[in-house]
Structure 1
Amino acid sequence: MDRATFLAALKTATEAIGVPLSESQAAQCAHFAALVVETNQTLNLTRITEPEAMAIKHFADSLTLLKIVPELKAGARVCDVGTGAGFPGVPLKLARPDLQLTLVDSLRKRLTFLEGALKTLEIPDVTLIHTRAEELKNARFDLVTARAVAALPKLITWCAPLVKPGGYFVAMKGAELEDEEGTAAKFGLTLLQHLELTLPDSEGSRRNLLLWVK
């Protein structure tokens, strides 16, 4: 992976979305991106591997989460459901090292990759859980999020039980947004904000972020 191209694109994109990173944070993002690309040769983690596209569509896209969530207290407990290659959880942790992060995925190979990557990057306070979201029990978080995992009704059904009272759930969706069919209200969630934004890429990729409070 061309590190310089990645870093230049990341700097431009994160500044454009209003979530700039320090040089050391950006360097960690570049290191993690390189590990994703390297592992992707043998394990299908992502179809996006070009440096500029990764910087914008994985890292900057993940950090849009910080545009919609109210100020997260230091040490807040965050759960990334269906994390896949570690998005949005890992970029969020790199931007906010104080957060206590839990990454949940149903494929053990992905978590094995993430365990090694987190160790290489010397990132503490991350818990990896191998399970399906609907089977995760006895866990409550200040913030639960999921990016491009499932349609809204199913996503809410999986994630809402993991949100503690007063906590938040953010669904990170693409250009197409399904009707959640009243599922949120059934789980005690109230919609606080629906943020539509466009990523600073050549395609003008559209995103929808929905924030609920419990």
Structure 2
Amino acid sequence: MKHLLESGLNRLGLRLRPEQIDQLLAYLTLLGKWNRVYNLTAVRDPAQMVTHHLLDCLSIIPPLQARHGEQALRVLDVGAGAGLPGVVIAIARPSTEVICVDTVAKKASFIQQVAAELGLSRLHAQHARVEALPPQQADIVTSRAFASLSDFVTLTRAHLGPQGVWMAMKGKRPDAEAAELPPDVALFHVEPLTVPGLDAERCLVWMRPRFSDTSSSPGAP
């Protein structure tokens, strides 16, 4: 699995330290172990877990770094499930604080266990409905197949910081969903993603409130 992961990282142009690669593989081992009892993910083949989970989520790191550099960020991962992409972000960007929220207790417990076993002190898990959380002041609110774009921004708007943006992981370009966005939300970029070893369309959808002053926002076009 290590060779498959390292090959994928090379194709993504993403350089991680050896200890980060070890953390990603340890996370995958924990996921496989817990999955036998709690059914956290439908993907069970280890090689598929590398491509469908790790590399799929790692594909968002280069765009994230291109927009924000090495800036210490606060990221809210909504409907985090088994920690995708939140755990991967926490490993790939150790300076970033990641809060994973999910309504399923066993999934939040799993993420807490990952944080403890892998020494990810800036990774946190919340068992809650995202709309019930106090405002998180996040620089980025992200999700992976959580909901429609409209529901995603509506449920999480209170958690954006002053210059915060939404970053939604999607499959095919979601033009129909984009047309249903609230009028005060701007979709300002749809970024195609190529996931090594995965023959499927992927994209990253960037959005922000229209009333935000983005002139000083990191990476604002």
Q: Tell me the TM-score normalized by structure 1.
A: 0.88
Equivalence for 1:103: 100
* Residue of structure 2 aligned with 1:85, choices 82, 87, 93: 82
Equivalence for 1:14: 9
Cα displacement (A) at 1:184: 4.7
Q: Secondary structure at the match of 1:42?
A: helix
What one-letter code is carried by the residue in structure 1 that aligns with 2:195?
L
Equivalence for 2:215: none
Go from structure 1 to structure 2 and tell me whether the alpha carbon gap of 1:30 and 1:42 turns closer, same or farther (over 3 Å shift). Answer: same
Structure 1 contact 104–128 (Cα < 8 Å) conserved = yes
User: Over residues 109-167 of structure 1, what are the superposed CA-to-partner deviations in whole Å (9 max), with x where a residue is unaligned?
Assistant: 11111111211111102222111122223221011100011122111212233111212
RMSD: 1.8
Equivalence for 1:29: 24
Structure 2 contact 90–122 (Cα < 8 Å) conserved = no
Structure 1 contact 105–130 (Cα < 8 Å) conserved = yes
Equivalence for 1:183: 181
Q: Secondary structure at the match of 2:82?
A: coil
* Residue of structure 1 aligned with 2:206, choices 196, 201, 211: 211
Cα displacement (A) at 1:75: 2.6
* Residue of structure 1 aligned with 2:162, choices 165, 175, 179: 165
Equivalence for 2:190: 194
Aligned residues: 206
Go from structure 1 to structure 2 and tell me whether the alpha carbon gap of 1:34 and 1:53 turns closer, same or farther (over 3 Å shift). Answer: same
Q: Secondary structure at the match of 1:59?
A: helix
Identity %: 28
For residues 109 and 159 of structure 2, what CA distance do their matches in structure 1 show? 23
Structure 1 contact 82–104 (Cα < 8 Å) conserved = yes
| Greater mean alpha carbon deviation, residues 131-140 or residues 80-89 | 131-140
For residues 11 and 73 of structure 1, what CA distance do their matches in structure 2 show? 21
Equivalence for 1:144: 141
Equivalence for 1:43: 38
Structure 1 contact 7–55 (Cα < 8 Å) conserved = no
Cα displacement (A) at 1:180: 2.6
For residues 94 and 207 of structure 2, what CA distance do their matches in structure 1 show? 24
Cα displacement (A) at 1:60: 1.5
Equivalence for 1:153: 150
Q: Secondary structure at the match of 1:179?
A: helix
> Tell me, which stretches of 5 or more residues in structure 2 are unaligned?
210-221
